[in-house]
A and B are shown apart, each in its own frame.
Chain A
Amino acid sequence: MSSNGTTRNIFLSGVGGQGTILASNILGQVLLDAGYDVKKAEVHGMAQRGGDVTTHFRFGEKVYSPLIRQGDVDYLVSFELLEALRYMHWVKPEGKIILNNVSILPPAVNLGKMEYPKNVEKTFKKRFKENVWMVNGYEIAKRIGNVQVANVVLLGALSNFFPELTGNQWIEAIKSLLPSKLHDTNIKAFDEGRAAIIR
């Protein structure tokens, strides 16, 4: 249920160190520049030590709460497959899902005590049908020459869902937040991500 029809909710999930914070900063900049009100919430601290991390990102005409309600996510962008599954029930029935094709094994799996979930993409497709996109964020980033930019690849993929924003607006936001020596690889990452899913 959405109480405010004009507010849209993006949920980012991943593992500490995957660059979710930079991705959400770029999102914030591009949407602020486009005239929206934005709010985002993150938990810092312990999360930096390999724990799971989430970002609640909301934008619209006027945003009140920084937190998304469970079941109210319009777009789930997961940087890691298990961390997508953990938040599947937060997504609206008609929500869109971008999965980064990466598995980072948690300690219980490393120790051989638990199994890493299988067929995550299939599980999502069963429920969300054609609204699920798998992106090879790390492979694309590796090809560009820097695995760190996988986050921007995913952002490029997400950008397809906001036709009101031009590619140039996104690139301007990326440039405004990153030092100039990183512009080329990140713009390339964005473009590749944008082309990686076709709607």
Chain B
Amino acid sequence: MSQEQFEPKVVGFLCTWCSYTGADLAGTARMTYAPNVRVIRVMCSGRVDPQFVLKAFQKGADGVFISGCHPGDCHYQDGNTKTLRRHRLLSRVLEQYGIERERFRLEWVSASEGAKFRKVCDEFTEQIRALGPLNFNGNGGQPHERR
């Protein structure tokens, strides 16, 4: 796939209390932003099991971001700090899988930050576009198309 034709596939996990509401605000304010993000709404950014992120990459995502409430604002007190720790751990593991750190981002977007949500989507999509397609083939080029 040539670089011009490449449209990044981005998966965004948004917590329902802050970031999803922020995304909603961007929508109701009729802001335009990169349409590449596939939004998945979760109750808390802390609900994002690292397995979800790996599965997204395996299923063809070129980039994944998680967005939650700002530190101190978590609806469940400390779900977002758990996400922060898991993000740093998983970023290191992803590097060992050969997936660049830049493909996995953590952002804090509050319910009033529609403009920030737009900025995150635009910036992250362009960052992934610059990196190019991930083309992760977990089979390692072997003729074993199983599972």
Q: Do A and B come from one complex?
A: no
Residues of B near any A CB (own CB < 8 A): none
